[in-house]
Amino acid sequence: QSDNNEARGGLIFPGDLDPNFWDFLHFGLVIGVANQTADVQISSKAIRNIVTVHGIIAFVFNTVILALAINFAASMI
């Protein structure tokens, strides 16, 4: 991709069209669910830091939900 994409925000989306709301929603959901990026490249250090924090928060949230579900299931036995 060109340097223009780096200057515009730090995320490089596949394809030639400008990203829309659904592209950013997809990016955020993949980070939250899988703790990784899919087909979007991160080209900015600032965005990389934000994505890292997002991944950590998502990991903690998912761990708490899993622990609560296991605790609830164990209490039903």
pLDDT of residue 3: 54
H-helix or E-strand spanning residue 6 = helix 3-8
What is the residue-wise DSSP string for 53-72? HHHHHHHHHHHHHHHHHHHH
Beta bridge partners of 11: 42
In the chain, pLDDT over 90 holds for what percent of residues?
71
pLDDT over threshold 50, residue 73 = yes
Q: Note the pLDDT tens digit of each residue in 5-35.
A: 445 679 999 988 899 999 999 999 999 998 8
H-helix or E-strand spanning residue 45 = helix 45-76
Domain ranges, residue 33: 3-76
Q: What is the pTM of this model?
A: 0.76
Q: Which residue has the tokens 């890292």?
A: 52
* Average of per-residue pLDDT across 56-76: 96
The answer to whether the beta carbons of residues 30 and 37 sit under 8 Å apart is yes
Q: In Å, how far are 32, 61, 74 from 70, measured between CA atoms?
A: 20, 14, 6
pLDDT of residue 8: 63
Domain count, the chain: 1
